[in-house]
Amino acid sequence: MLSKRTIHLCVTGGIAAYKAVELARAFVKAGARVRVAMSPSATAFVGPITFQAITGAAVLTRVLDPSEEMEIGHIAFAQECDALVVAPATANIIGKAANGIGDEVVSTVLLAANVPVVIAPAMNTFMYENPAVQANLERLSSRGWRVLAPDSGALACGHVGPGRLPEAKVIVEATQSLLEPGVLKGRHVVVSAGPTREYLDPVRFLSNPSSGRSGFEVAAAAARAGARVTLVHGPVVLPAPSGVEMVPVVSAEDMRIAVTTAAQHADAVVMTAAVADWRPENRAEQKQKKSGDRQELRLVRTQDVLAGLGEQRQGIRPVLVGYAAETQDVLNAAKAKRIGKKVDLVVANDVSQEGCGFATDTNQVWFVGADGEEALPMLSKSEIAQRLVTWLAHHLESVQ
């Protein structure tokens, strides 16, 4: 995703510094050339040799480093890259950057920066919520820096609240979104993801094994491409993609209402969600006790969300994309679904194949459209999402 990009990572002295090791690895895995600068206090948490081993590049730890200063190393570090990423960003470095102070290597690098900057705060909840820290973050944001919100949860100090360093994937996606050309800039894309649940009683429900990963990857890719993204999702355990509006739902009817509402002013709708086709005719108000050896369950059809959008569509907007998870005769089923539900593209896959379908990181799909079908090789769901975003951009341009 970041092939041929150079990312310089600035690590400062918080307990989350150890997570920067994973972040450096994630940038390398995404194809970037990575180099690291560490504040003096950061080296108390993680050794520079660790980052050097991961990135294959020397780590900048001092402003006056004899091995660097023939080229004024801290200036080159600040400017000879595509983006600077500060993670974790302590209250101390945030204050220095906001007020133009350069008294060690990272703060001096940030003073000289003339490239996009992503800053990921991580600290104690009370420190993060301190008005001075918030004012400094607002100042940096007003200068065009991309300031990420910290995650909430249990912190090293024992408190529970905002202050955790965002997941490495979130930081990588935020960095990429700064560097991509924005092929969906100005567009509104609605994505559905994950399973739905149809409750039989307060503790039992009908559902499926969808993890929501495909939809979350599509939402993330669309956001990176500059779109305003609304992600309507069933019960999942995935981190929210950066810069995406999240709309949680539970049942198929919840999904239908939320997607239909969001689609009213959308340019495109991508339905990856595994929406239940059936629901119990009656839902018990209390947990049903076991009785006898057999129990009959009557089911009724849920409303088809994608077909409803196809019926309601006026003209060519929104562009509609559906997903088809099949176990046999995949292409013919996808072609029938595209025509029957009046959609523009069906992304079809055989969930019976190893490495495909539910709860996997990879998939092998066909893009089935009015002009024919394209077979994609086995790819990561992230790469498939990126290719779908490219298709959306071209299709929206062609029907402008």
Active site residue 10: no
Strand duo 228-233 + 319-326: pairing: unpaired
Structure tokens, 59:
């780590």
For residue 156, the tally of other CB atoms under 10 A from its CB is: 12
**How does DSSP assign 151-195, residue by residue?**
EEEE-TTS-EEEEEPPPHHHHHHHHHHHHS--TTTT-EEEEEESB
Which residue out of 10, 81, 157, 356 is catalytically annotated? 157
**How does DSSP assign 204-255, residue by residue?**
EEE-----SHHHHHHHHHHHHTT-EEEEEE-S---PPPTT-EEEE--SHHHH
Largest Cα separation within the chain, whole Å, is: 85
For residue 375, the tally of other CB atoms under 10 A from its CB is: 11
DSSP class of residue 397? H
Return the closest-CA partner of residue 83 out of 107, 110, 63, 58. 110
Strand duo 362-363 + 278-280: pairing: unpaired
Catalytic residues: 157
